[in-house]
Structure 1
């Protein structure tokens, strides 16, 4: 008894010696350093994310407004309909841009030199004439009247109104001193406005930044996601169910599983090369078509869906299968009536995350030509089109200053779609998740 107390006392005293205290202090100090490094890593990541988002938003928010000038335009019948027949072909061929320019000349009668008049009409966008044509084609009865219209200004004047240019820097600007003066006069006459830029979502791409929109890219991305989902979702789930529930465990299935896991890590551009070689060169499918792009993205998304589905099937407790089999259900009934409904939240989550990844891919779409300059919205899945990521890529490569804000705005729209898709995945998981 005495010996045991002595041993216990000696063991206790080992933790109170100076050496033991030093070891404890070093251990606690190491723990504090690890926590500090972890906290620093989290804060640094959040700071970089905040910097990235702040940069994108600060440059992109301006693209959601567009500068217009209010002009009283006389719709001259001699220019629009010289024969007086209201022939749609005559209405389509009329020089509407000159009508808008004449309205602007009327506000500055002192401008007579040809160079000055060229600079003055350069303040209007080519879209001004397109807007007039649209109005006349919709209502030919307007010919011969005078309308007060809000017309687009050029990209450089739009940037001037948004305060992008530093007028005090002394650098050469895309707008001349005369244009700045005329713009100030129009402001003083309360003719300058900056409403919400609906054209960003309703117009297709253009060489002029004030006319460039995302309509073609949005439609192309929608078609891409439809094709990708229709192909990858049933194939991925079917392959996962077979491999997890029915396939025999042998070297062949082991090889298939290893290859599926490896395919999930293959660079996306490899799938683009595969689509270019097989779908376009061998099968002759049209280049730059959402159908081909969707097929390529479906190949890229399949491994992700298969892996996520197999993980979800494994997460279902074995007791569910045993109970179903115990009451006489077949293996097919057990899988489709009991296991699959319980695994569906994880399956949907994996599928949506895979589709979100496909939505943001650029390299495979570039390989199949979905970076074409498309000035009109396609009418089918085989029409030339682009997508949001490739639209960002093309606008970022444009030299005009106005495309900088268009690029950031397209990134904001793309991030918005990705956030919605990830939020949908979280909602579906929480909505259908069951706990045992």
Structure 2
């Protein structure tokens, strides 16, 4: 007789139950593997989405800003006439007269000669003069004051073109529209093509972007003052935040007793790391400017404010680096007779140094890109001269970007994007340095 005749026998149902169990197991495995594949897909999509937006951001900035690294310039035969520059024939000793001489007249005579314009035709002279930047006065004055022997000579000088000409040469506005609807006239376009054909109008590397200070004219506006101000502030942050942050971390991690007071300090440090940066600006305005009386717009005040903002980041990173050192290192040092101070400074701290340096550089990179706290302490001032000391008025790279972004002139759009590229390069160099230092000194346990 078969088992089907007696269904109550155990052996009859076992194969069917086993098959059902195997089927349920296979279904469960398939669902689990499908869920794992979906999770991996979601993670990949998240990464791709982030990369797409990053690529869009970089493309937008680079496509609008790479032209800022080139400036249209015109080569002119400048005659440094003594009757214009030094009419009293002082031999170049009257520096005040040299500084305020009528240099635009020299440029007007030179461009009239270059383009073959009749000196009596004032309309054409005025239109030709508009091709050259008004900042040429400062350029020619600097040449004469650096070498007074240039008075009475004729030299070929590359002078910056007006920002409108620069934008036209770079194709930043439509030249096919009617003349009355564009900022550059047909006669000026004809002169530009004439100068291009003779090689006297070219796009040259814009060194002024890195050396000039603030200016109301885009072609003579640069990041020089902002870079120096940022370097002053980063130096102050490094000198103050690193030793204070490391000392506080060592005490909290290695020496401080574990009680409610130290727990409160740790909670507050973690909270301070999440405080909006503009709050630190208000604190700096109240304490350093209003209470201590330090000058507004000074790099010293900016550095102190950024130090307060960076300290929590450095403390948290340093404590994490100290915790990563294996307890066996501490036990071995103490077992060999070292004091606790010797154990910390001779063994633990050197091993934690890669993490400390990484946290410090990341904190500095964060501080370099901050704008809000610097706005509140007045670092939006128009500063054209390099600050000789941290107490002198200055500005910073992110603040300079903010000010250029508010300008209405079209040429400042590329200057803004170009400044963003420079700032991103600084941040990239700092982050790469942090990675390299960590890989160089890191030890795996």
TM over 0.5: yes
Contact 1:127 1:211 in 2 (8 A): yes
Structure-2 separation of matches of 1:387 and 1:14:
72
Contact 1:237 1:305 in 2 (8 A): yes
Q: 2:277 is matched with which residue?
A: 268
CA positional deviation for 1:25: 3.9
Deviations 1:132-170 (A, max 9, x none): 212222222222222121111111101111121221255
Contact 2:108 2:125 in 1 (8 A): no
* Structure 1 residues 85 and 44: CA distance shift in structure 2, 3 A: same
CA positional deviation for 1:284: 0.3
* Structure 1 residues 30 and 434: CA distance shift in structure 2, 3 A: closer
- Unpaired segments ≥5 residues, structure 2: 1-8
* Structure 1 residues 83 and 260: CA distance shift in structure 2, 3 A: same
Q: 1:146 is matched with which residue?
A: 154
Where do residues 308-327 of structure 1 align in structure 2 (5 Å cutoff)? 308-327=317-336
Q: 1:97 is matched with which residue?
A: 104
Q: 1:155 is matched with which residue?
A: 163
Deviations 1:40-88 (A, max 9, x none): 2211111111111111111111111111111112222111111111232
* 1:256 and 2:255 aligned: no
* Structure 1 residues 36 and 91: CA distance shift in structure 2, 3 A: same
CA positional deviation for 1:126: 1.4
Equivalent in 116, 121, 127 of residue 124 of structure 2: 116
Where do residues 146-295 of structure 1 align in structure 2 (5 Å cutoff)? 146-170=154-178, 172-295=181-304
Contact 1:97 1:130 in 2 (8 A): no
Q: 2:35 is matched with which residue?
A: 30
Structure-2 separation of matches of 1:427 and 1:43:
26
Structure-2 separation of matches of 1:351 and 1:379:
27
Q: 1:16 is matched with which residue?
A: 22
Contact 2:358 2:435 in 1 (8 A): yes
Larger radius of gyration: 2
Structure-2 separation of matches of 1:84 and 1:331:
77
Q: 2:46 is matched with which residue?
A: 41
CA positional deviation for 1:233: 0.5
* Structure 1 residues 204 and 31: CA distance shift in structure 2, 3 A: same
Structure-1 separation of matches of 2:12 and 2:307:
73
Equivalent in 341, 349, 359 of residue 358 of structure 2: 349
Q: 2:3 is matched with which residue?
A: none
Q: 1:298 is matched with which residue?
A: 307
Deviations 1:374-411 (A, max 9, x none): 01111000000000010110111111111111111111
Contact 1:216 1:378 in 2 (8 A): yes
Structure-2 separation of matches of 1:104 and 1:346:
60
Structure-2 separation of matches of 1:74 and 1:349:
56
Structure-2 separation of matches of 1:326 and 1:409:
58
User: Which secondary structure does the structure 2 equivalent of 1:67 belong to?
Assistant: strand
Structure-1 separation of matches of 2:30 and 2:374:
57
Q: 1:62 is matched with which residue?
A: 67
Contact 1:240 1:309 in 2 (8 A): yes
Structure 1 runs of 4+ off > 6 angstroms?
Answer: 3-11
Structure-2 separation of matches of 1:298 and 1:77:
53
Q: 1:421 is matched with which residue?
A: 430
- Unpaired segments ≥5 residues, structure 1: none
Contact 1:280 1:287 in 2 (8 A): yes
* Structure 1 residues 434 and 162: CA distance shift in structure 2, 3 A: same
Contact 1:128 1:153 in 2 (8 A): no
Q: 2:79 is matched with which residue?
A: 74
CA positional deviation for 1:125: 0.5
User: Which secondary structure does the structure 1 equivalent of 2:347 belong to?
Assistant: helix
- Output the aligned Cα RMSD: 2.1
Structure 1 stretch displaced more, 180-189 or 367-376: 180-189
Deviations 1:79-107 (A, max 9, x none): 11111112323222211111011111222
